[in-house]
Structure 1
């Protein structure tokens, strides 16, 4: 029996978000944030990781996004979601530039109607919440409070161990 080599799938170079690299710290923070958010807010919000979103302002795949809670339809699924989340969370990866992340926030997320964007900078242990009016709230300790959703998390819990 002869086996033929199968070509590896090629990633499209058209969408840099599809090729972004993660890291151990990035993955740990993404998992921890999803856990903490679901633990505290699962009755009020749906929390998704790496969900492909398509807005009039462009395609994007935030690390996490938060929607108002709704009943899941397990028979019908969406590959690309066009609903606009209340909040998106972006974790700065070692391979990303701050400028590219801020550009995505202001050119894709806010024009679509996202209310707040959390930007997590692991190396500095900072969480910044951005608002569409270019206001920015920085948290380096204590309780992170989202002014639009009322979501609160302890910074120390996010960066624990």
Structure 2
């Protein structure tokens, strides 16, 4: 029964991250549909409400997937001394945990930059902000890989 729950948890995490990735990429497509005027590195564009909502949904799903992966994976090694004495499986688990946090930080940051650039009050000119939403969407999918790897290595090393 425990393995079946583990498979279900992994599928839920992957589904949340993949849906977030698809929403991020769709948000980029919606942003590109808006009118914009570009002169070298400066760009004037209208914000896209659809891109704003899709990006917000993608960021929310990424956050939920990350919280779920951390809750079910747990943390059994928390000090440097314990980490050095831990088995290779636990060390791999900690490496995957650190990578999920890094991917979350970069992915969430790029999604938030894309969301802010599509906020209604941001109809202004400035430097170009291309592909932040799609990069965030791709990082959501990468987050799924490392979250599942973290969950698998964390639960396989439990007694």
Instruction: Output the TM-score relative to the length of structure 2.
Output: 0.25
Give the structure with the larger helix fraction.
Answer: 2
Larger Cα Rg: Structure 1 or Structure 2?
2
**TM-score for the superposition, normalised by structure 1:** 0.25
Larger RCO of the pair (alpha carbons < 8 Å, separation 6+) = 2
Q: Counting strand residues as a fraction of each chain, which structure ranks higher?
A: 1
